Structure 1
Amino acid sequence: MSTVSELRITLDGSERVVPAGTTAGQALEADGRSVIAARVGGEPRDLEYQVREGDVVEPIEISSMEGRAIMRHSAAHVMAQAVQELFPEAKLGIGPPVENGFYYDFDVAEPFTPDDLKRIEKRMREIVKQGQRFSRRPVSDDDAREELAGEPYKLELIGLKGSAGSDDGADVEVGAGELTIYDNLDAKSGDLRWKDLCRGPHLPTTRVIPAFKLMRSGGAYWRGSEKNPQLQRIYGTAWESRDKQDEYLKFLEEAEKRDHRKLGAELDLFSFPPELGSGLPVFHPKGGIIRKEMEDYMRRRQAEAGYEFVNTPHLTKSSLFELSGHLPYYGDDMFPAFELDGVDYRVKPMNCPMHNLIFRARGRSYRELPLRLGEFGSVYRFEKSGVVHGLTRVRGMTQDDAHIYTTKEQMTDEIKSLLSFVLSVLRDFGLSEFYLELSTRDDSDKFIGEQADWDEATEALRHAATESGLDLVDDPGGAAFYGPKISVQAKDAIGRTWQLSTIQLDFNQPKRFGLEYQAADGSRQTPAMIHRALFGSIERFLGVLVEHYAGAMPPWLSPVQVVGIPISDDHVAHLEKVAAGLRERGVRVEVDTSSDRMQKKIRNAQKQKIPFMLLAGDDDVAKDAVSFRYRNGEQKNGVAIEDAVDEVVKAVEARVQV
């Protein structure tokens, strides 16, 4: 029987002949530090993977997105080893890489303390320094159960082999096909130090983890279900260099300073009274001013764009959502039904079914289309308590919702125009860097309707997105159950990406509701339906803006646009006269008549992030002027009152930041 001594593989786009038994690392001449794994036939592999005939082999660098994920997954294993060495009774959950870091879940008797995290991190550094080798080996189901008999959660994952989904992270541990265990082996003796059920791949050794830090711990339900035991999750971060990690930690410090929950309390904008329940904010007068400015702006822009405003109730019979298709596909995200007069009712999680009823209320002609119906509609969604987060993930929200009914001939131009409208509005709020995401259907059974309709709707959205000139990223499987969507992804001042406006094209709901219009030839036709939420929700968008501006809102959105600061009580009347002139021009102004000294009044105004301060002393009164101070500390003295008022008004009207 002959043996194969040479193999043909593809490397760097060209065919190579290598000896049988060559590893991916050898083929790539990888150093194991910058190139830490290989992509073989599109799948990530350890450098120790032995190449086969016809393999296409590519390097995975540690600084790439895929390389970072592998490094972070390896760091999660190191952390789990450290935990079990320090806490021998700890049982292992799962430990996947996540954006910017990793975590691992443990079943322990007591929650981890900050001192525990310090001990774990210290032990991790010792393991990293030892350079333990990650070694992969296939095992049978029975052997895996025998080896991991003391790990009940791993045993459960073995039973889920082939059906575990990425939603609970189990696919990091097991997948379809063979099971594999990764051993951590002593660098010198080769003795086993620790092992874990895992698909891999991993770094060659622990020494290849250049920089890591444990961040925090908290509770997490096993596999994300509240019906399962609560485990303790430790989060960490890991990077390809200390410089990159330092850069990330500085970013986190800046993000913490901008946290809208913290700033919302400091600036007296909103709060979350526990008496109301999780995810149900209330807006204080200053926050109410920002909301009103946002709504007034959007009402004006929509009126100019031909929208008509409607209003719908907060609750409805449950049967409405059966007709729309939401109940079977979206029911878990709705608040439970309640009975009224023998009929099940629900608070509404979206407005579109009610807008369909408005369209259907009377006969429609093609001459009315596009028909653009807009509403600031309050909706309620049963978000899990673990994902509720300030204003950016709430249970009660107000959407700047709109539904546009068009002919098939009109829909592509309408989508292009709508996308341009959306971007124009976002720019007025100070956001300027965008890309688009196109969410489409996949083979899942969660989507309704004919494939031909989906293809037509997807192509119309793709065409409009491409013509916008913005980068377009595909999101297979991310569509709503009834139709594809474009999401506008916007970067904030510190580079974070937020999903904001969405545009969805729906051929299914008009059919389900029997919507029709009379065409020019007298025939009855079904309209296309475009769902559009520009802010997403007012609450979430306001939270994003607070973080984008670090609370220093542009003058047009600032609750207090100007504060008058008298040097002494003798100068109050002068500033009240200035304030009256500003109010006549629509400016929100206060005069600080407190007993505080002038410097403290200035500090208070800076803390409240008020755009303009107008100071007055004897010289200003004599010259009928003010000292004009900006919130960045710059100051102009002896500014004529008329000029000061004009500058404030121009800044407010121009919607510029100062």
Structure 2
Amino acid sequence: MSDVRVIIQRDSEREERVVTTGTTAAELFDGERTVVAARVGGELKDLAYAVADGEVVEPVEISSEDGLNILRHSTAHVMAQAVQELHPEAKLGIGPPVRDGFYYDFDVEKPFTPEDLKAIEKKMQEIQKRGQRFSRRVVTDEAARDELADEPYKLELIGIKGSASSDDGADVEVGGGELTIYDNLDAKTGELCWKDLCRGPHLPTTRKIPAFKLMRTGGAYWRGSEKNPMLQRIYGTAWPSKDELKAHLEFLAEAEKRDHRKLGSELDLFSIPEEIGSGLAVFHPKGGVIRRVMEDYSRKRHEEEGYEFVYSPHATKGKLFEKSGHLDWYADGMYPPMQLDEGVDYYLKPMNCPMHNLIFDARGRSYRELPLRLFEFGTVYRYEKSGVVHGLTRARGFTQDDAHIYCTKEQMADELDKTLTFVLNLLRDYGLTDFYLELSTKDPEKFVGSDEIWEEATATLKQVAEKQGLPLVPDPGGAAFYGPKISVQCKDAIGRTWQMSTVQLDFNLPERFELEYTGPDGTKQRPVMIHRALFGSIERFFAVLLEHYAGAFPAWLAPVQAVGIPIGDAHVEYLQEFAAKARKQGLRVDVDSSSDRMQKKIRNAQKQKVPFMVIAGDEDMEHGAVSFRYRDGSQENGIPVDEAIAKIAKVVEERVQV
């Protein structure tokens, strides 16, 4: 047999190796148990792939992003096999890996029950132990149709091969037009156990699946279209080790405890009444307090930074959004028009920037006024499909803390630097500290303006972002149609990443609106526009903070900062006087004068996550004092009333957690 030379690439190290013709990637990495696939010439391949002369081969570790996707996609196949062994009538949809797991869609007569999931998971464990081999083979369209004649959804995918993309979840080999089927073969006899139309790659065998669990079921329209049949989707998760699976399940349990929708109900903060509609929230008194405090502090900080407050209506004539370009580029995210004024179309506004441009253009502007920083808590409306609406984090009506800064080109870099620094510092004030930045660049299919303008704007944003000393991650094609942006990505208390503030640099809308200012030489010049949303939206930021703090807000944000708990009825009036005195200093203090026993009052305050419990009995009254009980159960006794109020006020002023 002849020899072939291959290059094994490991990070920055390269090793040339001479092997015999027909050597597989599995043989190249023999003994490396964590390697589950290979990347050859930039393409992922099964370990059964036979390497060719001159190829560069990289090992793919199971814990890498690609390795996890391969693990999870392989587990999805095992799940689909288990479903069809238990429910032979089930027709196959698609089964891709997703963040932290996988799913597979099935057409079945009845929805899956929790008992069904237990049986499917047990069958999966049996298949995993059998050590079935995943085997790839190339087939023609005609052969695939013959083999999968009983799978109508797979037949549809065969018909769209070559035009399908990973975005629609089509589990087929596309691009080069090659169609592949993966067989699950018996480890001992090589007999076919199950097969699926799939582009791969896969693990070598089912025994390479270390740990998995089925999570839940749900409905999903075939290929995401409401015009198609509703299928039953089973979600699962798979990990490189049982310890990692256990950690993930513990994380999910903690995330469930922190779910803002659950906490919003338990703490009586907000609701989304069915009578109003999905994605449209109302804030209850306690939630209203938190929101007001958030907004008031933000207003104060904006005033200190030289922002001016404006207000704009909720609806406008469609001509304004034609001028801005939103009707060309963003119509799918807007509510349908309302026919008013003899056939004139009006739209609920999806964003505030066109109206702020009209404020800038309402009179002549001088270079001496720039930078002009306009700020608004502006409520906007976006048509989100019901399947993506999620509490306060993905809503149909929400209030943006929206700012638009108009400056000269010479001021642009400095203003961007000040804006990003201001944004990060204000987020830190609310208790968020773990950030990285993302630079979103032009979508080549969706943009306005010249390439030169985009290049200049992108380079400027990149320089500004790098000055912060935070990690900077590229987001190719993620920009809005009018300009590139920096997004502040923030990790919460349990490590989840949320997109927070955005800063966008825009040369195009000033051009479309013909905005001008008079320069030092008397000539008319075009301003540069910076779009900036600090919270993203008040509602979403509220939800993020609620989950970050698990409802236990720091005292300055807590709706009730202290609750008086009398030991007996004789102590109620004393604590009411304490509360009245504290309220005069701007503190939010209640007294629990209910008929409940003291211990139940303490439990109620703990459930409501009140920062300070102020307890008083005979001895406290005699000495003009109170006792403090904190969230963690610790207690401090005999604090004079004035000192106790000062202590609460100090914690509130310093915005620290207790």
- The reply to whether TM is greater than 0.5 is yes
* 2: CA distance, partners of 1:462 / 1:232: 45
| Amino acid in structure 1 at the alignment position of 2:467 | E
| Amino acid in structure 2 at the alignment position of 1:502 | T
Residue 650 of structure 1 deviates from its aligned partner by: 0.5
Residue 9 of structure 1 deviates from its aligned partner by: 3.1
1:532-585 Cα deviation digits (max 9, x unpaired): 110000000000111000001110111111111111111122212211221111
Could you tell me which residue of structure 1 aligns to residue 390 of structure 2?
389
Could you tell me which residue of structure 1 aligns to residue 379 of structure 2?
378
Could you tell me which residue of structure 1 aligns to residue 356 of structure 2?
355
Could you tell me which residue of structure 1 aligns to residue 30 of structure 2?
29
What's the TM-score once normalised by structure 2's chain length?
A: 0.98
Residue 642 of structure 1 deviates from its aligned partner by: 1.4
Matched, 1:440 2:441: yes
| Amino acid in structure 2 at the alignment position of 1:251 | F
In the TM superposition, what are the counterparts of 1:72-111 in structure 2 within 5 Å?
A: 72-111=72-111
Matched, 1:223 2:223: yes
Equivalent pair of 2:171/2:197 in contact (CA under 8 Å)? no
Residue 14 of structure 1 deviates from its aligned partner by: 2.5
Equivalent pair of 2:465/2:472 in contact (CA under 8 Å)? yes
Residue 162 of structure 1 deviates from its aligned partner by: 2.2
Greater mean deviation of Cα atoms: 515-524 or 277-286: 515-524
Residue 174 of structure 1 deviates from its aligned partner by: 3.9
- DSSP-derived class of the 1:409 partner: coil
Equivalent pair of 1:163/1:176 in contact (CA under 8 Å)? no
Residues 171 and 90 of structure 1, relative CA distance in 2, 3 Å threshold: closer
1:354-395 Cα deviation digits (max 9, x unpaired): 111111111111111111110000000111100111111110
* 1: CA distance, partners of 2:374 / 2:9: 57
Residue 173 of structure 1 deviates from its aligned partner by: 5.4
Matched, 1:410 2:416: no
In the TM superposition, what are the counterparts of 1:587-598 in structure 2 within 5 Å?
A: 587-598=587-598
| Amino acid in structure 2 at the alignment position of 1:9 | I
- DSSP-derived class of the 1:170 partner: coil
In the TM superposition, what are the counterparts of 1:566-585 in structure 2 within 5 Å?
A: 566-585=566-585
Matched, 1:6 2:4: yes
Matched, 1:162 2:165: no
* 2: CA distance, partners of 1:199 / 1:30: 26
Residue 11 of structure 1 deviates from its aligned partner by: 4.0
Equivalent pair of 1:555/1:656 in contact (CA under 8 Å)? yes
Matched, 1:491 2:514: no
* 2: CA distance, partners of 1:483 / 1:30: 50
1:507-530 Cα deviation digits (max 9, x unpaired): 111111111111222222211111
Greater mean deviation of Cα atoms: 83-92 or 305-314: 83-92
Equivalent pair of 1:180/1:199 in contact (CA under 8 Å)? yes
In the TM superposition, what are the counterparts of 1:109-508 in structure 2 within 5 Å?
A: 109-170=109-170, 174-341=174-341, 342-443=343-444, 445-508=445-508
* 1: CA distance, partners of 2:9 / 2:50: 14
1:333-353 Cα deviation digits (max 9, x unpaired): 111111002101110110011
* 2: CA distance, partners of 1:574 / 1:260: 36
Could you tell me which residue of structure 1 aligns to residue 653 of structure 2?
653
Residue 176 of structure 1 deviates from its aligned partner by: 3.4
* 1: CA distance, partners of 2:291 / 2:231: 39
| Amino acid in structure 1 at the alignment position of 2:482 | Y
* 1: CA distance, partners of 2:531 / 2:160: 38
Residue 167 of structure 1 deviates from its aligned partner by: 2.4
Residue 30 of structure 1 deviates from its aligned partner by: 4.9
* 2: CA distance, partners of 1:173 / 1:655: 55
Residues 171 and 527 of structure 1, relative CA distance in 2, 3 Å threshold: farther
What's the TM-score once normalised by structure 1's chain length?
A: 0.98
* 2: CA distance, partners of 1:436 / 1:148: 47
Could you tell me which residue of structure 2 aligns to residue 516 of structure 1?
516
* 2: CA distance, partners of 1:222 / 1:453: 41
Greater mean deviation of Cα atoms: 321-330 or 68-77: 321-330
* 2: CA distance, partners of 1:210 / 1:508: 52
* 1: CA distance, partners of 2:369 / 2:460: 22
* 2: CA distance, partners of 1:167 / 1:522: 52
Equivalent pair of 2:376/2:403 in contact (CA under 8 Å)? yes
1:67-94 Cα deviation digits (max 9, x unpaired): 1111000000000111111111111111
Residue 175 of structure 1 deviates from its aligned partner by: 4.1
* 2: CA distance, partners of 1:324 / 1:151: 47
User: What 5-or-longer segments of structure 1 have no aligned partner?
Assistant: none
* 2: CA distance, partners of 1:314 / 1:99: 36
| Amino acid in structure 1 at the alignment position of 2:166 | S
1:574-616 Cα deviation digits (max 9, x unpaired): 2122112211110001111111111111111111111001100
1:212-259 Cα deviation digits (max 9, x unpaired): 000000001111121221111100000011000000000011111111
Residue 482 of structure 1 deviates from its aligned partner by: 1.1
1:413-441 Cα deviation digits (max 9, x unpaired): 11111111011111111111000111111
Identity of aligned residues (%): 70
Equivalent pair of 1:269/1:285 in contact (CA under 8 Å)? yes
Q: Pairwise CA RMSD of aligned residues?
A: 1.2
Equivalent pair of 2:6/2:56 in contact (CA under 8 Å)? no
* 2: CA distance, partners of 1:489 / 1:171: 31
Residue 177 of structure 1 deviates from its aligned partner by: 2.8
- DSSP-derived class of the 1:414 partner: helix
Equivalent pair of 1:96/1:172 in contact (CA under 8 Å)? no
Equivalent pair of 1:37/1:44 in contact (CA under 8 Å)? yes
Residue 165 of structure 1 deviates from its aligned partner by: 2.4
Could you tell me which residue of structure 1 aligns to residue 43 of structure 2?
43
1:126-171 Cα deviation digits (max 9, x unpaired): 1000000000111122222222222121122122222212322126
* 1: CA distance, partners of 2:259 / 2:613: 25
Equivalent pair of 2:555/2:652 in contact (CA under 8 Å)? yes
| Amino acid in structure 1 at the alignment position of 2:372 | L
* 1: CA distance, partners of 2:442 / 2:148: 39
* 2: CA distance, partners of 1:83 / 1:474: 40
Residue 10 of structure 1 deviates from its aligned partner by: 3.9
Aligned length: 654
- DSSP-derived class of the 1:558 partner: coil
* 1: CA distance, partners of 2:344 / 2:536: 31
User: What 5-or-longer segments of structure 2 have no aligned partner?
Assistant: none
| Amino acid in structure 2 at the alignment position of 1:576 | Q
Equivalent pair of 1:157/1:174 in contact (CA under 8 Å)? no
| Amino acid in structure 2 at the alignment position of 1:25 | A
